[in-house]
């Protein structure tokens, strides 16, 4: 049995299924050992009746019918244990997969900085399949290896203790060999899984960035790099297979030795008995007749499967232990971002946001990204955020979503400390347009309505019009039912941005965050979106991160960040006088417009 805190509870949950399956399996093991007895009786029967004409047909028919009935019983029993044990193992696999998926959703963003998607997917595929295989076939092999072997060995001793004792010597070698090899196989399997993780990571990254690879004509280079990663995976697999094959070969040799021993020594014992010169081993006179040898040899053939299963159990168990260890480590990953003991649930908030002596550094990084920020955003204000690349603009707004932990008493929504609030209610209060504009491989309508329980097409259209993307959508052959493709591959950058804006707007949240969300649209469309924000989001807080000053110049106030610190926080006109960073941004963008032959509207 494979034990672990994430498995033990499921053994109890599906105990009845396992018990029924195990009882059926033990019963079949017993009935299976009756077959050699029937074969021995048939041999004795034909030895006793050498004249065909004297054979009692009724007695022969009874023996044949008994064998047929035995076959029906064994077939029925096998159907029962296959259904019950495999059903339980599949259900446990499903529960574990659900538990892992739930954990994956709960884990903080920092976890996915350290662990790539390919490795995580390997835990959901290779590792879970390995555990499910052991729970199913492993359980069957363990029961067979123990009970079938025990029943057979007992019956072998009843036939002849000396010959049975000699047969047990190679079986003991199998157990000893398996115990010696298990640790080595476990380590090699862990290496194999890690190598597979790297292949998955590389493949996932390559497919995600396929357009970049094609654009820079780097297919050949990627192929060579993939070949290196795959070669390492192949070498690791070969090392594991060598150990596994060596183990299987040794098992096969031992089984062959047992067979040769029984045929050779058993045959000589029968010959000695027939010639009235029986063998004597340790004072024990062996009288073995042909029917008993056939029965004994049939027992050995019956014992071959448990012996092979015993060998496979060691290999399967070592793999399953390694996989369970990886899954356990994943499920044991601490949830850094979680609700406090008695969280405050935010309802009907006004949208006031306060930063008080706020500083932040990413986990496992001592350098502060944001330093000593003191800002108060009143409800209903439109706030712009500008600054150089890497100054902390996206970090500032991401922290409002509680994607990371912050110091208590430094960040407030409606004067309530965000660290004391219910995370779900915080995120429900915010409509968020991320910088990467991620879209799911689904219809445009469903992408826009992603944050809602149901897709209200009228509300979807209203949101699309707000984001100035409705006209583009209706031009598609399938309109709002157009499939966006993986990560929105069928849409342009501007269309993806505007669909993301529509998705955030549809939530009708008290706070809306646009993280550089109009950078891929023309100035006319940008102006229309900003006008819609002013018109339709009156009384609601909106924060707009922008790289263009023209995007935020009409905002109520603008936050100017410089190397993680707030250099200034004021309206456009005042910032031109007080903020060196802001005035320089305006100046450079004016020059850029002049070079392009246009006019700057700042």
Under DSSP, the state recorded for 344 is B
Handedness of CA 483, 484, 485, 490 (dihedral sign): positive
Under 8 Å between Cβ of 501 and 464: no
Residue 469 has pLDDT above 60, yes or no: yes
16 pLDDT band, cuts 50/70/90, is very high
Of the ranges 152-161, 203-212, 403-412, which is most confident?
403-412
Q: Mean pLDDT throughout 69-92?
A: 89
**283 in a domain, yes or no?**
yes
What is the percent of the chain with per-residue pLDDT over 90, rounded to a whole number?
A: 9
**410 in a domain, yes or no?**
no
Provide the pLDDT for residue 80: 92
Report the 3 state secondary structure along 264-321. HHHHHHHHHHHCCCCEEECCEEECCCHHHHHHHHHHHHHHHHHHHHHHHHHHHHHHHH
In tens, the pLDDT along 23-38 reads: 998 888 888 877 777 7
601 pLDDT band, cuts 50/70/90, is very low
Higher-scoring residue by pLDDT: 557, 179:
557
Under 8 Å between Cβ of 148 and 302: yes
Lowest mean pLDDT among 6-15, 206-215, 433-442: 206-215
The size of the chain, in residues, is: 602
Handedness of CA 409, 412, 416, 420 (dihedral sign): negative
In tens, the pLDDT along 241-268 reads: 887 787 778 777 777 777 777 777 777 7
Lowest mean pLDDT among 86-100, 192-206, 388-402, 588-602: 588-602
84 pLDDT band, cuts 50/70/90, is very high
Higher-scoring residue by pLDDT: 122, 459:
459
Lowest mean pLDDT among 199-203, 204-208, 523-527, 585-589: 204-208
Residue 420 has pLDDT above 50, yes or no: yes
Q: Mean pLDDT throughout 132-159?
A: 83
595 pLDDT band, cuts 50/70/90, is low
Give the tokens for residue 424: 């779900």
Burial class (CB in 10 A: 0-12, 13-18, 19+), 114: exposed
Domain harbouring 216, CATH code: 1.20.1560.10
44 pLDDT band, cuts 50/70/90, is low
User: Beta strand pairing status for 353-360 and 411-413?
Assistant: antiparallel
Q: Mean pLDDT throughout 302-314?
A: 72
Provide the pLDDT for residue 413: 92
Provide the pLDDT for residue 46: 67
What is the C-alpha separation between 353 and 416, in angstroms, rounded?
9
Give the tokens for residue 280: 């004597």
Provide the pLDDT for residue 193: 76
* Backbone φ, ψ for residue 286 (5° rounding): -100, 120
Provide the pLDDT for residue 20: 93
417 pLDDT band, cuts 50/70/90, is very high
For the chain, the average pLDDT equals 81
Residue 600 has pLDDT above 60, yes or no: no
Buried-exposed string 16-44: b where 16+ CB fall within 10 A, e elsewhere: ebbebbbebbbbbbeebbbbbebbbbbbb
**33 in a domain, yes or no?**
yes
User: Beta strand pairing status for 416-417 and 411-413?
Assistant: antiparallel
Q: Which residues pair with residue 382 across a beta bridge? A: 542
**503 in a domain, yes or no?**
no
Residue 1 has pLDDT above 70, yes or no: no
**101 in a domain, yes or no?**
yes
Distance between terminal CA atoms of the chain?
Answer: 72
User: Residue 55 is part of which domain span?
Assistant: 5-331
Provide the pLDDT for residue 581: 84
What is the C-alpha separation between 346 and 541, in angstroms, rounded?
15
Provide the pLDDT for residue 49: 64
Provide the pLDDT for residue 288: 67
DSSP track, 383-445: EEEEESTTSSHHHHHHGGGTSS---TTSEEETTEEGGGB-HHHHHHTEEEE-TT----SSBHH
Give the tokens for residue 394: 């996206």
Region of residue 594 (phi > 0: left; psi between -120 and 50: alpha; otherwise: beta): alpha
Provide the pLDDT for residue 602: 47
Q: Mean pLDDT throughout 321-334?
A: 87
Higher-scoring residue by pLDDT: 408, 207:
408
Provide the pLDDT for residue 182: 65
Provide the pLDDT for residue 410: 92
- How many domains does the structure of the chain reveal? 1
Residue 594 has pLDDT above 70, yes or no: no
In tens, the pLDDT along 158-208 reads: 777 777 777 677 667 777 776 676 667 777 777 877 787 788 778 877 877
What is the C-alpha separation between 63 and 39, in angstroms, rounded?
9
CA-wise closest residue to 504 among 461, 462, 439, 450? 450
Provide the pLDDT for residue 88: 92
* Backbone φ, ψ for residue 386 (5° rounding): -130, 165
**455 in a domain, yes or no?**
no
Higher-scoring residue by pLDDT: 448, 49:
448
In tens, the pLDDT along 283-303 reads: 666 666 666 667 777 777 777
What is the C-alpha separation between 410 and 384, in angstroms, rounded?
21
**574 in a domain, yes or no?**
no
Provide the pLDDT for residue 246: 79
Provide the pLDDT for residue 50: 61
**443 in a domain, yes or no?**
no
């Amino acid at each position: 049995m494979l034990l672990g805190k994430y498995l033990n509870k499921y053994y109890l949950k599906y105990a009845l299924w396992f018990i029924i399956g195990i009882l059926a399996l033990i019963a079949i093991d017993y009935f299976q050992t009756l077959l050699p007895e029937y074969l021995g009786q048939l041999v004795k029967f034909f030895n006793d009746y050498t004249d065909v004409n004297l054979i009692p047909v009724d007695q022969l028919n009874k023996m044949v019918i008994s064998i047929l009935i035995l076959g029906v019983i064994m077939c029925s029993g096998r159907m029962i244990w296959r259904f019950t044990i495999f059903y339980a193992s599949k259900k446990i696999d499903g529960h574990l997969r659900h538990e892992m998926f739930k954990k994956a959703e709960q884990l903080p963003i920092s976890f996915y900085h350290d662990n790539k998607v390919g490795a995580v997917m390997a835990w959901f595929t290779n590792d879970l399949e390995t555990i499910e295989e052991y729970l199913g076939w492993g359980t069957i092999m363990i029961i067979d290896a123990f009970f079938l072997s025990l029943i057979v060995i007992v019956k072998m001793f009843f036939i002849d203790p000396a010959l049975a004792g000699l047969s047990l010597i190679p079986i003991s070698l199998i157990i000893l060999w398996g115990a010696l090899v298990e640790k080595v196989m476990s380590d090699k399997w862990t290496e194999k899984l890690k190598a597979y993780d790297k292949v998955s990571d590389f493949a996932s990254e390559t497919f995600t960035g396929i357009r970049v690879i094609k654009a820079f004509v780097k297919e050949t280079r990627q192929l060579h790099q993939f070949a290196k990663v795959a070669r390492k995976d192949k070498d690791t697999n070969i090392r594991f297979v060598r150990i596994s094959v060596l183990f299987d070969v040794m098992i096969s040799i031992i089984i062959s030795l047992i067979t040769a021993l029984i045929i050779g020594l058993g045959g000589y014992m029968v010959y000695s008995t027939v010639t009235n010169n029986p063998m004597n081993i340790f004072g024990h006179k062996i009288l073995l007749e042909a029917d008993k040898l056939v029965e004994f040899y049939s027992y050995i053939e019956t014992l071959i499967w448990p012996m092979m299963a015993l060998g496979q159990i060691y290999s399967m168990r070592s793999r399953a232990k390694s996989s369970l260890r990886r899954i356990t480590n994943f499920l044991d990953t601490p949830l850094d971002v979680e609700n406090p003991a008695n969280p405050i649930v935010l309802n009907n908030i006004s949208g006031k946001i306060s930063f008080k002596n706020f500083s932040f550094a990413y986990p496992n990084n001592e350098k502060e990204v944001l330093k000593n920020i003191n800002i108060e955003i009143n409800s209903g204000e439109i706030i712009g955020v500008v600054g150089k690349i890497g100054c902390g603009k996206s970090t500032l707004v991401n922290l409002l979503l509680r994607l990371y932990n912050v110091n208590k008493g430094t960040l407030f929504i409606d004067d309530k400390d965000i660290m004391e609030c219910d995370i779900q209610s915080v995120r429900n209060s915010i409509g968020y347009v991320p910088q990467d504009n991620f879209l799911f491989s689904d219809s445009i309508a469903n992408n826009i309505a992603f944050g809602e329980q149901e897709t209200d097409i009228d509300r979807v259209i209203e949101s699309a019009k707000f984001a100035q993307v409705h006209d583009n959508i209706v031009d598609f052959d399938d309109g709002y039912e157009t499939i966006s493709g993986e990560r929105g591959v069928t849409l342009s950058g501007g269309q993806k941005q505007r669909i993301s804006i529509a998705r955030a707007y549809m939530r009708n949240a008290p706070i809306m965050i646009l993280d550089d969300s109009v950078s891929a649209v023309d100035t006319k469309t940008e102006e229309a979106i900003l006008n819609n924000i002013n018109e339709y989001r009156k009384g609601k807080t909106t924060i707009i991160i922008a790289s263009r000053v023209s995007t935020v110049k009409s905002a109520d106030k603008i936050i100017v960040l410089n190397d993680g610190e707030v250099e200034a926080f004021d309206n456009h006109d005042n910032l031109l006088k007080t903020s060196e960073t802001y005035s320089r941004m305006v100046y450079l963008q004016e020059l850029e417009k002049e070079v392009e032959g246009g006019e700057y509207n700042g």
